[in-house]
Amino acid sequence: MLRVGLTGGLGSGKSTASRMLRARGAYVLNADEMGRQLMQPGEAVFDAIVARFGAGVLQGDGRLDRTALARAAFEDGRVDELNAIVHPATIARQAELSAIIGEDDPNAVVVVESALIFETKYGDLGRFDKLVLVTAPEELKIARFVARTGLTEAEARQRLARMIPDEEKLGRVDFVLRNDGTVEELEVQVEAMWAELKPAV
């Protein structure tokens, strides 16, 4: 099994690259989706968030109000508190699922898609065999993120500012996918990378 970490800032195109890799046979684990699952009522992560942030982050139906939680985390300077709850559980879940996949398919390429592979304090890079950075110019990232989420440009910049700049990550990854052109151009890069990843298994 080959364990691949795929990262990039908001709006870089990680999910697009992940879909292309999945289409080629990779098993893709999305950190955001895992985090959302772990934040459902009945999960330990959910209980810990409510205990720490209070009932103000809940909707009327008892589920988390993700917008209210994001505001509490980003605007009130409590991101580290939230990450300390969510990140360890998410990384543990990634390891658990990767092990299950590896047992079933020893030649699997398991891709963990996460914006915060370098930023998190709760998982070392040794859990990956290869690292991939999806990058794009900052203004393009922000425009994509705003269009996708409906958040403001200021909110996008606030979140981007908490991330390590791509320039600092370039020398620490095995592959760089430059997503500043067309989808077809990104696909050509993904195909070339896949040709190198698959024989390595």
Establish if 103 belongs to a structural domain: yes
Is residue 51 pLDDT above 70, yes or no? yes
**pLDDT tens-place string over residues 171-192:** 999 999 999 999 999 999 999 9
> Whole-angstrom Cα distance, residue 140 to residue 6?
19
- Cβ atoms within 10 Å of 24's Cβ, excluding its own: 15
* CA distances (Å), origin 200, targets 25, 106, 118, 153, 194: 14, 12, 23, 41, 10
Establish if 107 belongs to a structural domain: yes
> Whole-angstrom Cα distance, residue 108 to residue 85?
30
pLDDT at residue 201, rounded to an integer: 63
Establish if 78 belongs to a structural domain: no
pLDDT at residue 71, rounded to an integer: 86
Establish if 110 belongs to a structural domain: yes
Establish if 125 belongs to a structural domain: yes
| Residue range of the domain that includes 119 | 2-35+93-200
The model carries a pTM of 0.87
Number of domains making up the chain: 1
**pLDDT tens-place string over residues 135-169:** 999 888 899 988 888 878 888 888 788 888 999 99
Establish if 44 belongs to a structural domain: no
Quote the percentage of the chain above a pLDDT of 70.
Answer: 99
Q: Which residues contact 94 (CB under 8 A, 6 or more apart)?
A: 29, 31, 34, 112, 127
Establish if 43 belongs to a structural domain: no
Establish if 101 belongs to a structural domain: yes
Q: What is the CATH number of the domain that holds 17?
A: 3.40.50.300
